Amino acid sequence: MLKYASLAAALSIAVGAPAAAAELVTDFQLYVLGDLTMNGDQITQRAAVGGDATFTGTSISGAGSAYASSLVVGGDLSYVNGGSIIGGAQVGGANHAPSYMPVSAGLASLPVDFDIENLRLKNLSAGLAAQTATGVTELKWGSNLYLTGAGAGLNVFTVDAATLAQASVIKTDLAPGSQVLINVVGDVVTLSGGLTFDDPSSVLWNFAGASQITAGGLNLGGSVLAPNAAFVGNYGSIYGDLVVGSFNGAISLKGNGYGGDLLTPPPLPGAGAVPEPGVWALMILGFGAVGAMLRRRRGRALGAAVA
């Protein structure tokens, strides 16, 4: 069986990991692969939206000196009923925000290659979902979800969406300093209640198979990876980062974000390294996907040139 490091390296290679200068999901508190419609709330760090982004009275304030902007949008940007973008925005499409907002629009080049990063995230989520559970998950007394770890290091748990929908409290028995990966199995997911952890920065919730996630009255500890899901926020808080296919509604993102290494592309193996057979298979499939994507890009470019 592949160890996670080998699997992650294979996935990183297979989808053509972004160049060193490109920004990754780990540079953002909120990352949306497709379109976003957000009503109110505040983004205290940075946000990236691969499609169109519409904000209603939202304040974004997380650029800092290390970045050129607080917001990166692949499509069009719209702002309704005020709000602010402290640190500015870089937009690939049209700008429909008020003139007082610092927005650079119609950019041919953005700091995020959404095609590459989105593909990497989908493959990464699928790879994490294939990890064998090492910890024990139990639902007790109706709504208490107990997670018992196997020791230090990475603890992997699996829980189905129906069980998670019943849970309103999480109880844990984990070794200090351990990382937590929770693979949630199910297509339609409902999140509510106080699903918190002592150290949310070490927790990653992975919803690889989810097409829809609805969160209401939520107090969630940990970061969310759901690249295929339409996320509907009916208010609440997530103490971590949020990565979703699309976003509609409102949710507060708090805390310092994800502090683990599961979302980071690992360094490529050295020239003398010999990949395992399973790694070769993932590489070959991934090269084919990247080749097809690049051919589509060239086709669009040629079509535009002819037009």
Residue with tokens 């719209």: 78
* pLDDT score of 256: 85
* pLDDT score of 141: 84
Q: Is the pLDDT of residue 29 over 90?
A: yes
User: How buried is residue 147: exposed, middle or buried, by Cβ count under 10 Å (0-12/13-18/19+)?
Assistant: buried
pTM above 0.75, yes or no: yes
Report the C-alpha gap between 302 and 36 in whole angstroms: 30
Under the banding of pLDDT at 50, 70 and 90, the label for residue 42 is confident
* pLDDT score of 303: 52
* pLDDT score of 292: 57
* pLDDT score of 288: 54
* pLDDT score of 255: 86
Under the banding of pLDDT at 50, 70 and 90, the label for residue 301 is low
**Rounded mean pLDDT of 83-90?**
93
Lowest mean pLDDT among 10-19, 45-54, 131-140, 193-202: 10-19
Backbone angles phi, psi at 298, to 5 degrees: -65, -40
* pLDDT score of 16: 46
Mean pLDDT value across the chain: 84
Is the distance from CB of 244 to CB of 229 less than 8 angstroms?
Answer: yes
- Token representation of residue 236: 């609440």
Q: Is the pLDDT of residue 58 over 50?
A: yes
Using left for φ > 0, alpha for ψ between -120 and 50, and beta otherwise, residue 31 falls in beta
